[in-house]
């Protein structure tokens, strides 16, 4: 394991912490933008032009006219008024500007710390990787929006999933780096210890669930089978026909995707008990508090998932479900970090 030399100043730590909190907020806002079906309200890339909101009725009408040209308006929202359009517009506007702010807030201080030689070389490499991911995230965001402008009333759930997964990666890397600074270490994520694979598999399951969860959101797959524990009196969705092995990989099937989302949650819950047994058997007292946090957020997340479904996808519960997924992810990373350090 690499040893920590020194954190050059507290400013560097608080800069990363603020970036982390901004990314955390960004994921929440992105989720609400999706839940309010606001993501297609701005139909152009507008990297710099869109910093300011429409300042007069003429500009508002231009944006609204562009929105009227896409399938979402024509097939779903054709009775929408300008005042109603403004609501979904501001969700996407705030989402995009928060992304711009994160990019600038990360880049400018990074250059400053580099020129002042106030950043550890290993942290510098990590920060450059984070910035590349931030740029990639911006591109993927537009790539996702484009998928809903021509032939579809919503964005591609594959692109939505990629967009969300990158956001979680950025958040996770920032959190790991903050833990390193706080603990005065330079621990790497991948280490040569076979027992680490117990935690690698947990993290794999969690990110797999995030991906499938994004599929559920993108397909609106939560709007069918709004019963639990059964799916309309059946364990397996009764409208899914399996004629070959390939049918199990039909990730466009709403019922099948919801089935996977439910059962990966059950698998994570079962693995949670295995992790608990592993900690108990090896007398890992240092993991008691991190494991408690993990168990707390896991139980809360499952509960929120169930009541969100039963409520008919209440927007507040759905948002809480996503927020809890962030906290659950951080608790798992914290659990693994404390195990290897």
pLDDT tens digits for range 121-141 = 889 999 999 999 999 999 999
Give me the long-range contacts of 193-202 (CB less than 8 A, separation at least 24).
Answer: 193/340, 196/336, 196/339, 196/340, 198/274, 198/275, 198/278, 199/275, 199/332, 199/335, 199/336, 199/339, 201/271, 202/268, 202/271, 202/275, 202/332, 202/336
CA distance 156 to 67: 18
Residues 68, 121: contact at Cβ < 8 Å? no
Answer yes or no: is pLDDT of 274 > 80.
yes
Domain's final residue, options 148, 170, 188: 188
Q: 129 and 266, same structural domain?
A: no
Q: 178 and 59, same structural domain?
A: yes
CA distance 215 to 237: 17
Q: 149 and 207, same structural domain?
A: no
Give me the long-range contacts of 301-310 (CB less than 8 A, separation at least 24).
Answer: 301/325, 301/328, 302/265, 302/269, 305/265, 306/228, 308/222, 309/222, 309/225, 309/226, 309/227, 309/228, 310/226, 310/227, 310/228
Domain's final residue, options 149, 165, 188: 188
pLDDT tens digits for range 284-297 = 999 999 999 999 99
Work out whether the CA dihedral 125, 10, 297, 252 comes out positive or negative.
negative
Quick one: DSSP state of residue 2?
P
**Total count of domains within the chain:** 2
Q: What is the pLDDT of residue 3?
A: 42
Q: 255 and 155, same structural domain?
A: no
Quick one: DSSP state of residue 185?
B
Q: 247 and 123, same structural domain?
A: no
Q: What is the pLDDT of residue 8?
A: 53
Domain of 331 in residue numbering reads as: 191-341
pLDDT tens digits for range 170-208 = 999 999 999 999 988 888 898 888 889 999 999 999 999
pLDDT tens digits for range 304-322 = 999 999 999 999 999 999 9
Q: What is the pLDDT of residue 291?
A: 98
Answer yes or no: is pLDDT of 119 > 60.
yes
Q: 102 and 244, same structural domain?
A: no
Over range 250-255, report the average pLDDT.
94
Residue 3, strand partner residues: 185
pLDDT tens digits for range 200-227 = 999 999 999 999 999 999 999 999 999 9
Answer yes or no: is pLDDT of 7 > 60.
no
């Amino acid at each position: 394991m690499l040893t920590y030399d020194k954190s050059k100043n507290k400013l560097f730590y608080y800069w990363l912490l603020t970036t982390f909190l901004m990314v955390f907020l960004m994921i929440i806002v992105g989720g609400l933008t999706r839940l309010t079906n606001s993501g297609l309200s701005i139909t152009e890339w507008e990297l710099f032009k869109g910093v300011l909101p429409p300042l007069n009725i003429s500009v508002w009408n231009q944006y609204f006219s562009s929105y009227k040209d896409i399938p979402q308006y024509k097939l779903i929202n054709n009775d929408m008024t300008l005042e109603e359009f403004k609501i979904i517009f501001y969700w996407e506007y705030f989402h995009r500007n928060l992304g711009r702010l994160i990019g600038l807030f990360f880049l400018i201080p990074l250059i400053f710390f580099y020129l002042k030689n106030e950043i550890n070389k290993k942290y510098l490499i990590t920060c450059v990787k984070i910035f590349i991911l931030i740029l990639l995230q911006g591109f993927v965001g537009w790539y996702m929006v484009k998928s809903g402008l021509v032939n579809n009333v919503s964005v591609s759930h594959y692109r939505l999933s990629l967009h969300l997964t990158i956001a979680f990666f950025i958040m996770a890397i920032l959190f790991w780096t903050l833990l390193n600074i706080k603990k005065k270490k330079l621990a790497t994520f991948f280490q040569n210890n076979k027992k680490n694979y117990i935690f690698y598999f947990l993290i794999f399951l969690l990110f797999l669930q995030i991906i499938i969860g994004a599929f559920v959101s993108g397909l609106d797959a939560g709007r069918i089978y709004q019963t639990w524990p059964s799916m309309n009196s059946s364990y397996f969705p009764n409208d899914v026909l399996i004629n070959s092995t390939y049918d199990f990989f039909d990730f466009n099937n709403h019922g099948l995707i919801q089935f996977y989302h439910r059962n990966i949650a059950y698998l994570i819950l079962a693995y949670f008990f295995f992790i608990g047994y592993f900690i108990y058997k090896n007398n890992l007292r240092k993991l008691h508090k991190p494991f408690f946090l993990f168990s707390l957020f896991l139980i809360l997340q499952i509960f929120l998932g169930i009541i969100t479904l039963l409520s008919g996808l209440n927007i507040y519960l759905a948002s809480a479900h996503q927020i809890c997924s962030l906290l659950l992810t951080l608790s798992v990373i914290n659990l693994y970090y404390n195990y290897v350090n």
